[in-house]
Structure 1
Amino acid sequence: MKVLLINGSPHEKGCTYTALQAMVNTFQDEKVQADVFWIENKPLYSCIDCGKCSQLSRCVFQDRVNEFLAIAGDYDGFIFASPVHYAGATGALTAFMGRAFFADLHSGKNRFYLKPVAAVVSARRAGTTAAIDQINKYFLWGHMPVISSRYWNMVHGQTPEQVLADVEGIRNLKMLAKNMVWFLRCKEAGKQAGVELPDYNR
């Protein structure tokens, strides 16, 4: 089993990375491979609705979105994480997700279909739940079961050290990772028992 954690921060190893790393450690303890994919801090186009993805099976813009799509199909679950900017996810992450989900839909690759997913946000103080709601909408549109913890998936702090000091936040993210592992194991057990994916044509 493999989980891909997408770091939507402009800082490769800042607060958002620190939150994700706590989950990576938990996944590894549970014998699940966990990799972090940083979207980087270069400009990212938003979707221009050109329709080329239906022909190319990827986005027309050659950047981190296509690098992500090239490996996404190999993963069983996803975590999308963002710092909070003006009570929302970063513009870069929303541009990234918009193009990734749109290109996947129109390419027919089904890289995300019924794969578990969760949103994680990092903030100095406020705007966290609004950002989580924003990110979750991509998953609900994309046929993805959303995994929860016992509270909202967030950490607080202005530095990585302050994030690590958010004991409750880190604990909730570790619980989130364990819940995703449990779901993945249930899904695999169902597959082994002959439980098929939904047939929407009947």
Structure 2
Amino acid sequence: MKVLLVNGSTHQFGCTYTALKEVAKALEANAIETEIYWIGNQSYSDCIACGKCRETGECVFHDGVNILVDKAKQSDGFIFGTPVYYAHPSGRILDVLNRAFYSGSKHFAHKPAAAIASARRAGTIASIDVLNKYMTINQMPIVSSTYWNEVHGNNPEEVLKDEEGMQTMYNLGNNMAWLLKCIELGKQNGIAVPVNEKKHTNFIR
């Protein structure tokens, strides 16, 4: 089993990475393989609704989004991490997830996931709530911890001093590992992923 941890920060080894690393430590202690994927600090185009991915199976913009979707195919769970910008996730991770979930939603569906946020002071809850929407619309069980999935600090050294925040990250990893093992046990006992109908309607009809 493998969990892909997505670092949506501009800084590869900053506060968000520090939090993700703690989640990974707990997962690895539970014999779960991990990979931290940094989406980079380059600019990403948002989804332009061209619909080409419905024909080809991949986004027309050949960048880190298609890499993320390819990695998702081999992953059993996900942690999406973001810094807080104006009480909101980074625009970069939103652009990436808008396109990844549209072009590759089937590779994320029914796999457990969680969002984490790092901030100097505030805005974490709003940021986590935004990221959670990607999961809830795509039939992904959301993994929780012993507090909201947030850490505080202006640099990695300060984040490490956030004892409750780091404990929350470790506990999140434990809970993710537990749920993955439960899902795997279910598969071994014939419990299949549900096949649900999807009907798209407008509010007017």
TM-score range, shorter chain: over 0.9
Counterparts of 1:72 and 1:55, CA distance in 2: 19
8 A contact 2:112–2:180 mirrored in 1: yes
| Counterparts of 2:44 and 2:196, CA distance in 1 | 35
Matched, 1:141 2:137: yes
**1:200 to partner: Cα distance:** 2.7
Percent identity between matched residues is 47
Q: Which runs of 4+ in 1 moved over 2 A?
A: none
Query: What TM-score do the two structures reach when normalised by structure 1?
Result: 0.96
- Kindly provide the CA deviation profile for residues 50-89 of structure 1, in whole angstroms up to 9, marking residues without a partner as x: 0010111010101000111112110000000000000000
CA distance in 2, matches of 1:78, 1:59: 20
What TM-score comes out, normalization by structure 2 length? 0.94
Which residue of 2 is the match for residue 154 of structure 1? 150
Query: How big is each residue's C-alpha offset from its partner over 1:69-116, in whole Å with a ceiling of 9 and x where there is no partner?
Result: 1121100000000000000000000000000000114xxxx1011100
Alpha-carbon separation, structure 2, partners of 1:152 and 1:144:
18
1:103 alignment counterpart? 103
Once the two structures are TM-superposed, the CA of residue 199 in structure 1 deviates from its matched residue by: 3.2
| Other structure's SS at 2:133 match | helix
Q: Alpha carbon RMSD of aligned pairs, Å?
A: 0.8
Matches within 5 A, 1:118-137: 118-137=114-133
Distance across 1 between alignment mates of 2:193 and 2:14: 39
Alignment equivalent of 2:179, drawn from 176, 183, 191: 183
Alignment size in residue pairs: 197
Post-superposition CA distance 1:131-168 (Å, at most 9, x none): 01011001111110000001100000001000000000
What's 1:64 paired with? 64
Question: C-alpha distance in 1, partners of 2:52/2:159?
Answer: 41
Amino acid at match of 1:56: T
